[in-house]
Amino acid sequence: MPHSPPDRLPALAPSRRRAARLRARDRGWCVRANRWGARGAVRRYFATVSRLGDGVFWYSLMAMLVVVDGMAGLAASTHLAATGVVALTLYRHLKRWTRRPRPFAADGRIQAWIAPLDEFSFPSGHTLHAVAFTIVALGYYPWLAALLIPFTASVAVSRVVLGLHYPSDVLAATAIGSALAGVSLALGTLLS
């Protein structure tokens, strides 16, 4: 059986220690945020935001854009829907590939304040969709920022407070959703 060269072994230990420290911090932040959910008003707020982030808010936004802005709203809503389909496919694939257990399943100190939609944690699908939808919608209607940015931030925070995701799940979903929206807007510009 081949062995690693002796000079490479010490380099692995610090990187493993760093990874362990990052996981511990991630878990620690999750535990602290999850404690907020023990407060009834906080739990109700984030549970409501999370439920709206399941799709209700975004479908309502798409319908409103069509009603308020006619064909231009329909074009924006179609773009949002197409981005949503890609986001759904992407995050489901990533969850099946990474199979990261949800925080409440991996750490007895973390309470799931609402039932999860699926088994795995990485990345946060709610956050990925919220970020991608917000960026695409703002590409068409920048004036919606006052509504969409606070809602999207609340969706992201809700996932950790409710014990369903680690902060790293939310941060990764933010990056993925941002990249997806950027590509989507660039393609939309090329196709128009």
Residue with the larger pLDDT of the pair 22 and 68: 68
pLDDT digits (tens, 9 = 90+) for 100-117: 999 999 888 999 999 898
H-type alpha helices, 99-124:
103-106
Domains of the chain plus CATH, in order, are: 40-191 (1.10.606.20)
**What is the predicted pLDDT for the residue at 1?**
47
User: What is residue 100's three-state secondary structure?
Assistant: coil
pLDDT at residue 9 is higher than 70 = no
d(CA 151, CA 140): 18
Q: Cα angle at 84 between 83 and 87, to 5 degrees?
A: 85
d(CA 134, CA 144): 9
When pLDDT is averaged across residues 5-32 and rounded to a whole number, the result is: 76
pLDDT at residue 181 is higher than 90 = yes
pLDDT digits (tens, 9 = 90+) for 119-163: 899 999 999 999 999 999 999 999 999 999 999 999 999 999 999
pLDDT at residue 8 is higher than 90 = no
Percent of the chain surpassing pLDDT 70 = 93
Q: What is the mean pLDDT of the chain?
A: 91
**What is the predicted pLDDT for the residue at 66?**
97
